[in-house]
Chain A
Amino acid sequence: MTDFAIELDDLQVVYRVRGKDRQVLRGVSLAIERGESYGLVGESGCGKTTAAFAIMRSLPRNGRVLSGSIRVNGEDLLGMGQGEVRNLRATTLSMVYQNPGSALNPAIRIGPQLAEVFELMGVSKEDAAKRVHGMLEKVQISDPTRVMRRYPHQLSGGMQQRVVIAMALAKDPTLLILDEPTTGLDATVEAEVLDLIAALRQEFGTSVLFISHNLAVIAKMCERVGVLYAGRLVEEGVAGEVFRDPRHPYTVGLLRCIPRGGVRKDETPLDTIPGFLPPIGAEIQGCVFAPRCGLVRDICREEEPPLYPVGNGRTSRCHFHQEAHLLPRNAPAELVGTRPGNGGGPLLAVENAGKTYRQEGQEVHALSDVSLGIRPGEVLGLVGESGSGKTTLARVLLGLTAPDPGSQLELEGAPLAARVQQRSREQVRSLQVIFQNPDSALNRRFSVRRIIERALYKLRGLRGDERSRRARELASSVRFDESLLAVRPSQLSGGLKQRVAIARAFAGEPRIVLCDEPTSALDVSVQAAILNLLAELQSGEGVTYLFISHDLGVVRYISDRIAVLYLGHLLELGDAETVFSTPHHPYTEALLSAVPNIEGGERPRIRLEGEIPSAADPPSGCVFHTRCPRKIGPICEQEEPPLEEVEAGHFMRCHIPLEELRVLQAAPPAPRYQSKTTS
């Protein structure tokens, strides 16, 4: 008999909502061996977090296990009493979840919080302190004594997550559950944390259940993977094989939604999955995926498929799994639009934009000397981590925040006032925005019709019949069904809400639209549809985009040119392909190497030492020098490199000449220090 760390057998979990039982897990069975790392992947509402909490016996008040069993180390978990469960949590099971800042008690110092875990195991107070110190060293925190005396809010996000991981591994558990542990962390920090998890897993031999919506992260971290849809496991197998050769239409569709491998919008539009994710607890007959499947036949709607074995330990819950790869495309395969010409002046130009504001007595330099021009008809992607200033730049361009004196903004050659209230109606109409979070970007008390018509009225002065007509046209241009116009945003899914937001932005027939992380809050399958829509609108209306995102795959897919920001400084600007291939700025190089890609495969990882410096106290000279793996010497500390055009249309801020970079970046750099994270 195999030695399983944990086994789920036909687990069914329901939530009681407003008096009715809604089924979230519809019979999930999986098994994780000792030392194995298993990824559970799925979109929102699939039930992955519920599975995690069920294992920890920590379901919310209205949730309960309907039937099925969970065995930990062979013992029945669901039959245990409170005392045994507590014991299990203290010794065998650990969980790390998404927001590390809120997972730590803000009123207790780090040291005691960690020591608690050891004390529960019977360790004395002095020994506990020593072991806490040791554990913090293991998670690569360089000054454990100081950190132990700190409170959680005094640590950065990355460090908080390390502390939480230390707390989870301190008891040397059999199973470690990680629920979206790096979502919300910067790309470079995420890479560090993932590396850490992988290393610790090797050292401790812990089994890992890794839950995420991000397939690339799962591909990197997990040996096996299970795809969860509507509370059912639809496919399972070795991670690399499943992602290379998926055998379920949902997995196939999901993989086609993700922009990867350098695919760009003018080569192929992203494929999408038709229909909607089923609402939580919906009644489903037959195959859970049937309503959206391109291969659906009558039998699919009547009989739910069992898990068919497809060889090599893999399974797929599809009657027609052999044909999965023949799933027809949902979105058209035509090419989208043409690339913009290079002629003419920039549509939106910003010169020497700076923004400094005071916070608690310190001067925070959010933006420094950023100059760039956005050309008509292009998509300019803006990339950067937290503190890069991309949000500040967006707000300055929109006129929501006034930049420092000396900054100049120009729209179509005419000066643009610093505050939106001082701009002309024409200018306001021409420069619009799509926000990240569709829930808060739309007034939840207004109907969709009212939202769109108000924009038409204010931006174009339309009234009456003409306004209603134009509203309907806008709705259909974003593929928003007319029958839904009377509805309020709270009744719509995220994707539909975002379409309304897009319609609103386009109401005034803008020349340029600022897209601020427009797909970051959406599920993968929905993201693809929105990206396609944005690309289509862009080529159809000839609109220009400033596309801000932290997701490099998305930016690469949709952008013509790319600008890279770091700590308020523009470090690189050029055509998308040029920026994404060597030679490029050392920061861009590190950023690209930090992003996991779904093909797996080991790419040379460039580890950035240290944390992102604070914008209140930026480094002298080149802002990146404190972490730059290719720093050449004192000049990097003393002199800020000017923004130079190193080749046609390619600008960089680096002391290293282009040709030298080209040679250097053919091989990864030597590590600068011993693995060290400053505290």
Chain B
Amino acid sequence: MTVVQDPTAPITVPSAPDQAAIARRERLRFLRRSPTFLIGCALVGIWVICAIFGNLIAPHDPEFPDVLNKLVGPSGEHIFGTDRLGRDVLSRVIVGARSVLVIAPIATLLGTVLGTAIGLVTGYYRGLVDEATMRVVDAVLAIPLIITSLLAVVALGPSRVTLILVIGFVFAPIIAKTVRAAVLGEAQLEYVEAARLRNERGLYVMFAEILPNVMGPVIVEFTVRLGYAIFTIATLSFLGFGADPSIPDWGQDISQHYQFISGDVWWPVLFPSLAIATLIVGINLVADAIAQSFER
């Protein structure tokens, strides 16, 4: 007896599990189990909580100058000691998180949006637009970023908005370069040509077809640049160009107390430094873990 196959029956696939959803779930599972990611999240988490609930957590008023207890070392009353004005260092460290954590993400977002747009346009259109833009980008990148940010802030005067704009614009070229490289790779795939053969307009192809496929590198860039943004903001306030001198700021506090090191007064400098270090390291651990999860 032979079994007759129905030649006209459509060929069905036994319900294949959704590959893309599986990949996403696996990425999340990897992240959940990755020590790098967890430690990073913990570090960042602590500071985020400080930024939001700072005033509630801080043991003392960060602005209150206890004139009788200036530059007192760590003790039971002041766990991190006091600064040159007698203010509690611990409280200043806790509240200081807010300044940085408000500006940095917004600035990075601005830079990422700009950089991605530039990367998409130059990577897709190529030709003169691409060459010209890349020359300008190369010229701008020839000057170290810190110098460019510094000059811009000096010129425009330090303020929150300035800082956000400056950092956003200064980071855009680097992000553009990375995104452009990813776009170049995508643009040679045939689905882009197939789109052209439907007379799709450039904007559609770039944003609807190509962009979803380069989101991976964009996300990784965002997280990495976030760390650098905090780095730059801290550096700028160390150099005296912080956003708002009247609120607690780690970089500023460090720069104001640096002179006391030779007198063996290390605590007003060490603890804000550790704060900066742990926050940035935390962000970069998260960024690294995310990048790794995409690679698998």
Contact = CB atoms under 8 A, between A and B. Distances in A.
A440 B191 CA distance: 6
A-B pairs, top 3 by smallest CB distance, nearest first, are: A440-B189, A441-B190, A445-B212
- Identify whether the interface residues of B are mostly helix, strand, loop, or mixed: loop
A425 B197 CA distance: 10
B197 A491 contact: no
Contact of A490 (B1, B8, B15, B20): B20
Contacts of A326: 2
Contacts of B213: 443-445
Contacts of A423: 199
Nearest to A422: B199
Given A18-B26, A458-B199, A481-B12, A443 B7 contact: no
Interface string B192-205: 01101111100000
B197 A432 contact: yes
Interface in A269-287: 274-276
A234 interface: no
Given A294-B2, A479-B10, A420 B199 contact: yes
Nearest to A275: B11
A458 B200 contact: yes
24 contacts: A18-B26, A274-B11, A296-B3, A297-B3, A330-B7, A332-B7, A332-B8, A398-B197, A400-B197, A420-B196, A425-B199, A433-B194, A435-B194, A440-B189, A440-B190, A441-B189, A441-B190, A481-B12, A487-B18, A488-B18, A490-B19, A491-B19, A492-B16, A504-B194
Contact of A294 (B3, B11, B12): B3
Contacts of B13: 276, 481, 484, 492-493, 496
A459 interface: yes
Contacts of A493: 13
A287 B19 CA distance: 28
A532 B263 CA distance: 88
B4 interface: yes
Interface string A310-348: 000000000000000010111110000000000000000
Contact of A488 (B3, B19, B193, B198): B19
Interface of B: 1-5, 7-8, 10-13, 15-20, 26, 189-191, 193-194, 196-200, 209, 212-213
Given A420-B199, A433-B194, A491 B16 contact: yes
A483 interface: yes
A9 to B, nearest CB: 34
A67 interface: no
A295 B197 contact: no
A contacts with B: majority SS: loop
A476 B13 CA distance: 14
A502 to B, nearest CB: 12
Nearest to A445: B212
- Contact size class for A? 35 or more
A328 B11 contact: no
A330 B17 CA distance: 27
A455 interface: yes
B3 A295 contact: yes
Contacts of A441: 189-191, 194
Nearest to B12: A481
A537 to B, nearest CB: 15
Contacts of A479: 10-11
B198 A455 contact: yes
A496 B7 CA distance: 17
A653 to B, nearest CB: 31
A332 B17 CA distance: 31
A421 B12 CA distance: 38
A80 B146 CA distance: 58
Interface string A439-460: 0111111000000001100110
Interface string A416-436: 000011010100100011010
A483 B193 CA distance: 28
Contacts of B209: 443
